[in-house]
């Protein structure tokens, strides 16, 4: 008989049960994990698909909120604006015209003086002596002239009786002429001495404000009527009423000014001004000078207006805001200055249409009127301009618009 008993466990597993070859345990151990993995993946996919289908939809992003307002309508004029500085019409450095010791000072530093007021006195005694000498020389010359007149008259009488020669007569005539010339010279010396004596008293050439004095009592003063640079500066005086306001116009502003003058606009002669602490342009002057050439380096032209200053409040050197009206008031639109954005050399404003979409509009701007910017063109009265929240607005995007109103002062400055 044939022995078919298994010799080992491996041999037993290899025996067929129904005549088919038997699989090894290694094959079964590999297959089982693979089936488990497939079943687990299917279960996870089904769970994930279920969760995704039942998850809540994400919340919609809210639209940015901006504030819009239609432009304010107002009658405004075309004007030029700038910065000016007051200057004195008359300004004089008081310098001595004669030398000597300073004996008197008749003002305090910064005083207001009137024309002809005595300011300084230089010791007059040397000039009084000089005047006395000149007057004495004049008397001597007059005496010699009298003698020459008498001798000439006597010689003429003798010449008629033919007791005097013609040569003697000519000599007497020449002596009379010389004596008369000596009198003229002496009279000129007297006037010169009187003038020097007058210059020992320095008076105000016009009404104005004095500067601080540059000399002290007892100081030696150097003077010269020729106005040499070696003369002593005593003080400076400036006039105050009326007073100039100097300012510069750019070439563009000057062209507008020229065209307004060509149209014979009477307002172009009026210049209003406001000091640094004044809100209104209540000071009115008259434009009386425009220079004849533009400055090549700055591209500006100098202009000047004259203002009355009866209370002497204005002082040379003060700054003021200047405004020159070029036309009569005409309708214009105004928006807050913050709503106007620079775009290279142009300006734009952001508007919101009926569909709440942001649209930029290019505009031509004017000057400021109480914080509002004048819009000359490019904007319609019904346009809704973004006045707040501009940083949130992007062209072509939708926004949530809140309506507001542009506040306009009762009187535009």
Query: Rounded mean pLDDT of 263-272?
Result: 70
- The contacts found for 336-342 with CB under 8 angstroms, 24 or more apart, are 336/371, 336/372, 336/373, 336/387, 336/406, 337/368, 337/371, 337/372, 337/373, 338/387, 338/390, 339/373, 339/385, 339/386, 339/387, 339/390, 340/365, 340/373, 340/375, 341/390
pLDDT at residue number 12 = 37
Q: What is the pLDDT of residue 264?
A: 58
Asked whether the predicted pLDDT for residue 226 surpasses 60, the reply is: yes
Q: How far is CA 265 from CA 131, 140, 220, 286, 404, in A?
A: 61, 71, 58, 14, 38
- pLDDT band (50, 70, 90) for residue 409: low
Confidence category of residue 305, pLDDT binned at 50, 70, 90: very high
In the prediction, which pLDDT does 329 show? 80
Report residue 60's pLDDT band, with 50, 70 and 90 as the boundaries. low
- Residue 360 CA to residue 383 CA, distance in Å, equals 11
Question: Could you give all domains of the chain from N- to C-terminal order, each with its CATH number?
Answer: 67-75+329-403 (2.40.420.20), 79-89+241-325 (2.40.30.170), 97-238 (2.40.50.100)
β-partners of residue 330 are 76
Q: What is the DSSP letter of 344?
A: T
Separation of alpha carbons 245 and 321, rounded Å: 10
**Residue range 199-204: average pLDDT?**
94
The answer on pLDDT for 23 being more than 50 is no
Percent pLDDT > 70 in the chain is 81
Higher pLDDT: 380 or 368? It is: 380
Is residue 124 within 8 Å of residue 197, measured between CB atoms? Answer: yes
Most confident of 152-156, 172-176, 202-206, 372-376: 202-206
The answer to whether the CB of 389 falls within 8 A of the CB of 61 is no
DSSP E strands, 70-204: 72-76, 79-88, 91-95, 100-105, 112-113, 118-122, 201-203
Question: How far is Cα 83 from Cα 253, in angstroms, rounded to an integer?
Answer: 13
Distance in angstroms between the alpha carbons of the first and the last residue of the chain: 134
3-class state of residue 16 by DSSP: coil
C-alpha to C-alpha distance for 254 and 303, rounded to whole angstroms: 10
Residue 157: what pLDDT?
Answer: 75
**Residue 164 binned pLDDT confidence (cut-offs 50, 70, 90):** low
* Most confident of the following: 70-74, 206-210, 368-372: 206-210
What pLDDT does residue 30 have?
44
pLDDT one-digit tens code per residue, 124-143: 999 999 999 999 998 888 88
CA 105 to chain centre: 39
Which pair of tokens denotes residue 184? 């003229």
């Amino acid at each position: 008989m044939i022995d078919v008993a298994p010799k080992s466990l491996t041999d037993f597993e290899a025996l067929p049960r129904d005549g088919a070859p038997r699989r090894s345990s290694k094959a079964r151990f590999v297959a089982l994990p693979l089936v488990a993995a497939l079943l687990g993946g299917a279960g996870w996919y089904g769970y994930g698909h279920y969760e995704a289908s039942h998850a809540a939809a994400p919340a919609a992003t809210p639209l940015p909120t901006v504030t819009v307002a239609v432009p304010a309508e107002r009658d405004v004029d075309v004007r030029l604006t700038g910065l000016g500085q007051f200057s004195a019409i008359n300004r004089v450095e008081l310098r001595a015209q004669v030398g000597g010791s300073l004996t008197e000072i008749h003002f305090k530093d910064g005083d207001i003086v009137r024309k002809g007021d005595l300011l300084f006195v230089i010791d007059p005694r040397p000039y009084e002596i000089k005047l006395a000498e000149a007057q004495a020389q004049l008397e001597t010359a007059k005496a010699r002239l009298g003698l020459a007149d008498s001798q000439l008259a006597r010689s003429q009488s003798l010449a008629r009786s033919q007791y005097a020669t013609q040569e003697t007569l000519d000599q007497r005539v020449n002596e009379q002429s010389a004596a008369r010339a000596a009198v003229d010279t002496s009279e000129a010396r007297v006037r010169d001495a009187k003038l020097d004596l007058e210059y020992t008293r320095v008076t105000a050439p016009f009404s104005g404000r004095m500067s601080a004095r540059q000399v002290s009592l007892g100081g030696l003063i150097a003077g010269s009527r020729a106005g040499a640079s070696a003369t002593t500066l005593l003080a400076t005086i400036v006039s105050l009423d009326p007073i100039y306001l100097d300012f510069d116009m750019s070439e563009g502003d000057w062209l507008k000014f020229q065209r307004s003058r060509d149209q014979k606009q009477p307002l172009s002669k009026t210049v209003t001004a406001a000091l640094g602490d004044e809100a209104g342009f209540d000071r009115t002057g008259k434009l009386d000078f425009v220079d004849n050439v533009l400055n090549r380096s700055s591209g500006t032209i100098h202009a000047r207006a004259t203002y009355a200053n009866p209370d002497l409040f204005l002082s040379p050197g003060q700054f003021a805001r200047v405004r020159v009206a070029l036309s009569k008031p005409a309708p214009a639109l105004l928006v807050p200055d913050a709503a106007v954005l620079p775009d290279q050399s142009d300006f734009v404003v952001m508007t919101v249409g009926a569909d709440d979409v942001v649209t930029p509009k290019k505009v031509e701007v004017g000057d400021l009127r109480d914080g509002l910017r004048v819009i000359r063109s490019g904007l319609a009265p019904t346009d809704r301009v973004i006045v707040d929240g501009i940083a949130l607005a992007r062209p072509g995007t939708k926004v949530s618009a809140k309506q507001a109103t542009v506040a306009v002062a009762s009187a535009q400055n």
